[in-house]
Amino acid sequence: MKYPLIICSLVFLSFLSCKNQQSNEDIVKKDFDFAASQLAFAMTEVNKALAEDSAAARKMLVSPRTIGPDGKLKLVASRDWCSGFFPGSLWYMYEYTKDKKWEDAARKYTGPLEREKTNGGTHDMGFKVYCSFGNGYRLTNDENYKNIVLESAYTLITRYRPNAKIIRSWDHNKDKWQCPVIIDNMMNLELLFWAFKESKDSTFYNIAVNHAHTTIKNHFREDYGTYHVIDYDTITGEVLKRNTHQGFADGSTWARGEAWAIYGYTMCYRETKLPEFLEQAKHVANFIFTNANLPEDLIPYWDYNAPQIPDEPRDVSAATVTASALYELSTYDTENAAKYKKWADTILENLSKNYMAKQGEDRGFLLLHSVGSKPSNSEVDVPLSYADYYFLEALLRKQTLGQTGKLF
């Protein structure tokens, strides 16, 4: 009699597995269908904004970034750190649909960013060039794109300070910092690892690894919360100051900074297999998901120590970056894989239910309720292009992981 029971159990488990897979596919399809509609609308909004701005050509505006206080679409020039995210989102649409119209759109918005390949005045080369041309090369093998990305990597390493073993982040506020490095800079290391593999020049690898090691040493507190800005003496390598710029206080943990950290160290482990990078990513995940101020829906407040929680703005951009990182982290830390995937799935489900823009509205953005810099009262509770970019990336990773069990 036990055999029919076993058979019934296997059938039931198979049913649950199929149902779960169907559910995963449904959310990815639903959100990409929505994204297709919104991004098409966004491009009409860009054209409208350019037509209404008589100085748009002089300003060299290329990409949408957010919605301004006046309700108008805010476009930015290629030099803006956010310029690569909209073309990157279009590349993700092409990756998902394989429809040439999205490739054409992505190429249109990617092209104007080429001038950034020699812009040595910023550390944001990965955000600008790798999210745009880098995705384009990955999906098309366009040799011109490859050359552009490689040149941008060579430009980025001109900002390396060998005595401190870091890549300088900002050139502004020279009266405040000698050599500021922000946790965000971890994200630009992916460009250097790519350049090492393409060129076989170990300089890229060594700089990226040194920067990641120095950041572990100086950017983290005992609980693995991050400082935002570390100021270095470039001769001695000594830490001069530990500050914030976009978080609540110098000693607080800015939510998107923590997201950059989990993403950055997960990626560094992928590229190096150095165990300390995996351990760091695991520690950061533990900080986020055991934090007493993390809301039940896992969409964090803009700072984990913001004073008016629970009446503080959420930061959807921190959630999307974290979700994308968690899917990758689940492929390396198998002991905790199910937990990471569950957290990432929960984030995407809650974003889909409660944080989406309205179709045909909100200037074509996908997600609402992100925070750029609350201390500056800038971009508070608004859509942001990078929240959309990492949302689509997380959806693609969820789909790929479900279909193949791996990402890379």
Q: What digits encode the pLDDT tens for the residues 19-73?
A: 444 556 699 999 999 999 999 999 999 999 999 999 998 999 999 999 999 999 9
Q: Would you mind telling me the total number of residues written for the chain in this entry?
A: 408
Q: Is 124 a catalytic residue?
A: yes
Mean pLDDT of 382-408: 97
The torsion region of residue 119 among left (phi > 0), alpha (psi -120 to 50) and beta comes to beta
Find all residues with CB under 8 Å of 251, minimum gap 6, and list them: 305
Catalytic option among 31, 80, 124, 315: 124
Taking only the tens place, the pLDDT of each residue in 108-127 is: 999 999 999 999 999 999 99
38 located within any domain: yes
393 located within any domain: yes
Q: What is the pLDDT of residue 15?
A: 45
Q: What is the pLDDT of residue 381?
A: 98
Q: Is 70 a catalytic residue?
A: no
Structural domain boundaries, residue 91 = 23-404
11 located within any domain: no
2 located within any domain: no
Cα–Cα distance for residue pair 327/343, rounded to 1 Å: 9
**Is 54 or 302 the better-scoring residue by pLDDT?**
302
- Please state the pTM of the whole predicted model: 0.94
Taking only the tens place, the pLDDT of each residue in 342-380 is: 999 999 999 999 999 999 999 999 999 999 999 999 999
Mean pLDDT of 178-193: 98
Find all residues with CB under 8 Å of 19, minimum gap 6, and list them: none
**Is 8 or 101 the better-scoring residue by pLDDT?**
101
Cα–Cα distance for residue pair 154/407, rounded to 1 Å: 27
* Interior angle at CA 135, CA 191 and CA 132, nearest 5: 80
Q: What is the pLDDT of residue 19?
A: 45
Residue 182 sits in a domain whose CATH number is 1.50.10.10
17 located within any domain: no
State how many domains the chain has. Answer: 1
Pairing type for strands 229-232 and 239-243 reads antiparallel
243 located within any domain: yes
316 located within any domain: yes
6 located within any domain: no
Catalytic option among 184, 315, 345, 388: 184
